[in-house]
Structure formats: structure tokens, C-alpha cells
Amino acid sequence: MNSKPVLSFKNIEKSFGDNLVLTGLNFDVHPGEIVSLVGENGSGKSTLMNILFGMDVIRETGGFKGTVQIEGNEVHISSPLEAIEHGIGMVHQEFMLIPGFTVQQNIKLNREPLRKNLFSRLMGKSFDTIDIDAMRRDALRALKRVHTNVTPEDHVALLPVGIKQFVEISREVDKENLKLLVLDEPTAVLTETEAEQLLEAVRSISDEGIAIIFITHRLDEVFAVSDRVVILRDGLLVADEPTNKLTKTQIAEMMVGRPLAESFASVTKRNLLDEDIIFEFRDVSVDMPGEELSHVNLKVRRGEIFGIGGLAGHGKLAVGNAVAGMYPYTGEVYFDGSILNASKIGEALKHDIAFVSEDRKGVGLLLEESVIINITFTDMIQKNHYLKKFGLITQYDHEKARQDAERMIKELEIRCHSPEDPVGRLSGGNQQKVCMARVLIANPKMLFVSEPTRGIDIGAKKLILNRLQKINHESGVTIVMISSELGELRSICDRIAVISGGEMQGILQPDAANADYALMMSGDPSVRQEGGVAR
């Protein structure tokens, strides 16, 4: 492409204190081009986007070096509003929509088509009448451009998660001067079909001549949609190549900076006894808002890695949360042959059952406390480790905790300046590793992990999965892994249960056909099978 670039980054450099997060970054984006921006967590992607949008964080931490050019002219963007004026749009990972408004109100927010009336002639523009018909027409056109059939009068709150993402893109597309659209992990919350639709929409937007920066963790999507890939690693641009010149492995290796072993270690068929049941749900129903589970029976064999898959909002997350005592349940839970009163706080932990919550920030961590305290907390509370005793008085043994925490930091490659840093300052993937470290250090008999790899990069993902496999194989820890990512479940699980609509649909072998999984996840009763020992 020889046209003038829409956007050029020239020698961008940014540091937070002494910590250099972007070093001499140069790249261009041309009209109608889709550029994938990939990199591990903490590689500098978000910082770069914050610079582009003139976010306060950048200015408050001393600004940046280098220049940003839009259509060849140097610009100084000091607020997201200015970025919009320059024709840059952004679709966020979190939904920036007003739930109580209709789709069309959201799309046209603050840009409503107006008509003069008698009153507004006297009182000024704020009193103009909103032209509802024009608003509906514009909204419909924008929705059509992203291939979405939604009624513009619907309330956003009632829409499924996937559709909201499309509404958000429509809003950006509707802006007349849009030249560049940044999509920050737009498919993270979508199902596979929705993700495909979204990629389709992205392609057609770019055909209109709009340049697109596509930030993603999913390498399949990079190949499906982008013309060019820009790879960041530790703030350095390590590659800027046309997509068709690279392979998936090459990209993955450049992201992590070392060669990756071929795929995840494959599951060896093991001798697990069908009679040796360590954990059992008998007719369990869980009242967890948004993830209700009804009348589920399941049996987990001692020493296995048991996967639970299903779509978001269909109840799979309720399994771990019920055992951890976070939500009330009915029915019976058995552990090691005896009944477990899991709704009593701490009861499961007493039996050496540990949890990694899907909600890192809300449940998994003490964000203001140090990495050391976060890693050693469960072990200290449950097993009285890391405590010095003086008669009746106990004191937290910071020195010993620090030593062990440092060992875990090394083993799990947790990136932090110091183990004394508050854990809230680490990036998402590293926070997840801290959550893992917290349960691993306590040597559990059984482990429930919910969405262990959500929103983290490929390097961290691999490390966590390998680690789970390692404690399973070497220490015989029984693991129940609950995840939305089927690929990940199939890479390490012995059996995979599928939950849909709050009900157990059946149990599949990890090598079962894709179609079987898809049908079960859709809750199609024709494929329900009496799989394994589950029913």
C-alpha cells in the first residue's frame, strides 16, 4: 500500500518512573488496512493506545517522547475527545454503553440529529427537538454496515452480551469523520459464531477505507482478518510484517521471545479407576445470579483432570463457587466418601480443597497488599504456616514468607519489580499467576480452577496449564477445571463435562469431534449421552 498513512507513530518512548515500557516505536497504519497489534500482557499495547487517545495517565506520569502523526500532520492529542475529533474511534473491552438507553440512543449519543422548534429558536440549541426518525434511520444504517439485525428501539440492557459489542462498533462507524478504528480484544466475550460475524463486519468496514487496529490474544483471528501484524514485546517492536509472511508459531515465539515447545503436552491415557470417586455432586442446584445450575450430578475420579465447559452464563461457574461456599446450593456434595457441608464458609478449605476464582480482582486477590501476602495468605490462614508462635500469640513470619513467595515468583515467572509491591500494580496475567501461586503453595488435595486463562497472554496461559498438569501428574492433585475455552480444556483434561442452560448435557472425551461439543453446548437434547460415569 503506497497511500499516505492515516496514522504514524514516530519514535514513541514512554517510561513510568525508571521503568521503560515503550522504546523507540515506529509504525504506520494505512487507509483500509487491518493491522493486528499483538503482544503479551504488559508488553505495552495498552500504553500505546493510551498515548493515542491522550489519556490522563500518560500526562500524569510525565508524558511521552516521539510524535504521533495523523495523515502526515503532527498532532498533540490531550484528551479522548480530541482523538474523536481527529477521526479515531475505539471499541473497548468493557462495554461503554448506557444500559437503560435504546440501541439508537446509544449509537447517536451526543450526536443526535436535531430539528429546530419555536422554543429552541429562543433558547438555543440545547432545546432542539430530537429527530427520532433520522436517528432511527442512521442507527439502522450503521447496524447494517456491521451486519447486525437489531431493532434500534430495543433497550441495550436486554441485549445478549455478543450483540452489545456490535452496537458499540456501530456507534463508532456512525461517526462521519471516522478514519481509524481501534478494537481492543473485541471477541473476548463473544461465542465462536459471534466472533466470526464480528470479523466479517471488521472486514467490510475496512473495505470502506477505514483503517483498523485490531488488538487480540487470539492468533487465529490475526490470520483470519488482518493484513499486517505488529508484535510488541517488553515495549519493543519486534516485528511489523504482512500477515501472510508469518506462521502462527513464529508470531507466538516472537511474542514470548523464546521458542515454544510443540503444543501443550498431550494427555496420556492413564489408569484412573471408575470406582475411586473423590468428589461427587448429587442433584445439586446452585442459586448464583447469572450462572444458575439445576439438578446436576457429577462424579470426579481420584487423580483426574476433570474439565467443565459451556458457554458464558450457562451455569458452569456455579460449580466452583458452590463448593467454595460463595453461593447457596441444594443437594449433596461428597468429598472422599463423606458429605461436605460446602455452604459453611471455609469448610471445603479444611478438607484441603482449594479454589482459583474466575473473578481475580473481586475475589482472588487483596489488591492493596503485597505479592508476598497474597501468595502466602491461604496457607497461613488454613494451615498456620508462616507464623511464629510465642505462647498464645502468633506473628506473621515475613522473612520465611518472602523466601517461599520468591520461589513461586521464579517458578511461575511472575513479573514484578519487588515481591513487596501491591499486587494491584501487576498486569492481569501476572495477577492470575499470583492467584495460582496462592493455591499451589498450600499443597491442596483437590483444586477447582475457574477460567484460569481468561484475558491472559499465550505465554502465561501455557505456563499455567503446564503447571496444572504438573501438580496433577507429580503430586496426584485432582483438578476440576472450568473454562470457556474448549481448546484449553481439550489440551489437558481427561474428560470434559458440558453444561448448558444450567443443566449437565453429558461428558465427552477430549478427542471427541468438534460437532459433538458444539451440539452439546447449544443444549440440543438429541446428543445428550450417558457419557463416562457421570450419570
Partner 1 sequence: MSGIKDFVNRLGMPRLIMSIFLLLLLIMVAIYQLPFSMIVSQSITRSGINMVLALAMVPAIKSGIGMNFGLPLGIICGLIGGLISLEYNITGLLGILAAWLISVPLAIVAGWAYGLLLNKVKGSELMVGTYVGFSVVSLMCIAWLKLPFNNPSLGWAMGDGLRVTITLDEWYDKALNELWAFEVFGVTIPTGLILTCALFCLLVWIYIRSRAGMSLMAGGSNPNFARYNGINPNRTRVVGAILSTIIAALGIIVYAQGFGFYQLYSAPMTMAFPAVAAVLIGGASATKIKISNVVIGTTLFQSILAIASPVAAAIFPEGNLAEVFRVIVSNGIILYALSKFEGGRFK
349 in contact with partner 1 (CB under 8 A)? yes
Angle at 222 between CA 497 and CA 23, to 5 degrees: 120
Q: Give the start-end residues of each E strand in 407-491.
A: 446-450, 478-482
HEC-encoded secondary structure of 2-59 = CCCCCEEEEEEEEEECCEEEEEEEEEEECCCCEEEEEECCCCCHHHHHHHHCCCHHHH
Q: Shortest approach of partner 1 to residue 16 CB, angstroms? A: 14
Q: Shortest approach of partner 1 to residue 79 CB, angstroms? A: 22
Q: Shortest approach of partner 1 to residue 346 CB, angstroms? A: 2
Cα–Cα distance, 126 to 381 (Å, whole number): 59
Residue 259 cell numbers, joined? 521458542
Angle at 374 between CA 373 and CA 379, to 5 degrees: 80
**What Å distances lie between residue 274 and 299, 302, 303, 497, CA to CA?**
9, 9, 11, 16
Q: Shortest approach of partner 1 to residue 350 CB, angstroms? A: 7
Q: Which of 222, 225, 254, 380 binds partner 1 (CB under 8 A)?
A: 380
56 in contact with partner 1 (CB under 8 A)? no
325 in contact with partner 1 (CB under 8 A)? yes
Residue with grid cell 492433585, as numbered in its chain: 477
341 in contact with partner 1 (CB under 8 A)? no
Within 13 Å and on the Cβ side, how many CA atoms surround 52? 26
Q: Shortest approach of partner 1 to residue 328 CB, angstroms? A: 13
**Span near partner 1 by CB under 8 A; candidates 148-156, 197-205, 240-248, 378-386:** 378-386
Angle at 515 between CA 246 and CA 450, to 5 degrees: 75
Q: Which of 72, 124, 289, 362 binds partner 1 (CB under 8 A)?
A: 362
Cα–Cα distance, 406 to 219 (Å, whole number): 32
Q: Which of 47, 104, 357, 491 binds partner 1 (CB under 8 A)?
A: 357
Q: Which of 103, 199, 324, 340 binds partner 1 (CB under 8 A)?
A: 324
Cα–Cα distance, 49 to 58 (Å, whole number): 10
Q: Which of 277, 363, 518, 533 binds partner 1 (CB under 8 A)?
A: 363
Q: Which of 37, 169, 230, 373 binds partner 1 (CB under 8 A)?
A: 373
384 in contact with partner 1 (CB under 8 A)? yes
Cα–Cα distance, 145 to 432 (Å, whole number): 38
Q: φ and ψ at 458, to 5 degrees?
A: -65, -35
Q: Which of 56, 133, 276, 369 binds partner 1 (CB under 8 A)?
A: 369
Q: Which of 270, 328, 366, 535 binds partner 1 (CB under 8 A)?
A: 366
443 in contact with partner 1 (CB under 8 A)? no
Q: Can you tell me whether residue 92 is helix, strand or coil?
A: coil
Query: Residue 486: which of 503, 508, 504 has the closest Cα?
Result: 508
Residue 306 cell numbers, joined? 476433570
Query: Residue 70: which of 97, 47, 52, 44 has the closest Cα?
Result: 52
**Span near partner 1 by CB under 8 A; candidates 72-80, 108-116, 145-153, 321-329:** 321-329
Q: Shortest approach of partner 1 to residue 257 CB, angstroms? A: 33
Q: Shortest approach of partner 1 to residue 431 CB, angstroms? A: 12
Q: Which of 191, 297, 382, 522 binds partner 1 (CB under 8 A)?
A: 382
Beta carbons of 240 and 233 less than 8 angstroms apart: no
377 in contact with partner 1 (CB under 8 A)? yes
Please say which residue, 233 or 402, places its beta carbon nearer to partner 1: 402
Residue 136 cell numbers, joined? 432511527
Q: Shortest approach of partner 1 to residue 342 CB, angstroms? A: 11
Q: Shortest approach of partner 1 to residue 163 CB, angstroms? A: 30
Residue with grid cell 481439550, as numbered in its chain: 490
350 in contact with partner 1 (CB under 8 A)? yes
427 in contact with partner 1 (CB under 8 A)? no
Q: Are strands 329-335 and 387-390 parallel, antiparallel or unpaired?
A: unpaired
Residue 59 cell numbers, joined? 500526562
DSSP conformational letter for 508: E
User: In 10 A of CB 355, how many CB atoms?
Assistant: 26
Please say which residue, 272 or 381, places its beta carbon nearer to partner 1: 381
Q: Which of 199, 296, 326, 409 binds partner 1 (CB under 8 A)?
A: 326
**Span near partner 1 by CB under 8 A; candidates 19-27, 156-164, 339-347, 520-528:** 339-347
Q: Shortest approach of partner 1 to residue 444 CB, angstroms? A: 13
Q: Shortest approach of partner 1 to residue 194 CB, angstroms? A: 30
**Span near partner 1 by CB under 8 A; candidates 31-39, 206-214, 364-372, 519-527:** 364-372
**Span near partner 1 by CB under 8 A; candidates 240-248, 296-304, 320-328, 495-503:** 320-328
Beta-carbon contacts of 89 under 8 Å, excluding residues fewer than 6 positions away, are 172, 173, 175, 178, 180, 181, 182
Query: Residue 22: which of 10, 30, 33 has the closest Cα?
Result: 10
342 in contact with partner 1 (CB under 8 A)? no
Q: Shortest approach of partner 1 to residue 378 CB, angstroms? A: 5
> Which residues contribute to the site for partner 1 (CB under 8 A)?
324-326, 345-347, 349-350, 355, 357, 359, 362-369, 373, 377-378, 380-382, 384, 387, 393-396
